[in-house]
Structure 1
Amino acid sequence: MSVSRHSDVPVYRQIVSQLTLMIEMGMLADGERLPGSRLLASNLGINRNTVAHAYGELRERGLVEPRGRNGMVVVGGQGARTSSEARNRAREVLAAAARECLRLGLTAPEIRDLIGGLAAWEAEKALEVSFVECNRERAEYFAAELAAALAVPVKPLVLGEFEAATERPDLVLTTFFHLAEVRGLLRRPSTEVVAIVAAPHIQTLVQIAQVPKDRTVGLLYSTNDQAVSIRDSLAQAGVTNIAVLSGTGDAELRGVDLVVVPSEMPELARALAEKRVRVIEYGNVLDAASVRMAGEVMRELQLARSLRE
Structure 2
Amino acid sequence: MASVSAPNSLQGLPLLDVDILRTFIAIAETGSFTRAAQQVFRTPSAVSMQIKRLEETLGRAMFVREPRQVHLTPEGEILLGYARQLLELNDEAVGQFLSPQVGGTVRLGAPSDMGTRYLPAIIAQFTRAYPAVQVNVRLGRSPDLMRRLDVGELDLALLVSEAGRTPAIGAEPIYSEALVWAGREGGVAWNRTPLPLAVADRGCAWRRIAMEALNRAGMRYRIAYTSEHAEAHVAALAADIAIAPLPRGLVQPPLRVIEHEEGGLPPLAEYALSLKRIPARGAAAEALAQHLIDHFASQAVG
Bin of the TM-score, shorter chain as denominator length: 0.3 to 0.5
| Higher normalized contact order (CA 8 Å, seq sep 6+, divided by chain length) | 2
Higher helix share: 1
* TM-score (ref. length: structure 2): 0.34
TM-score (norm 1): 0.34
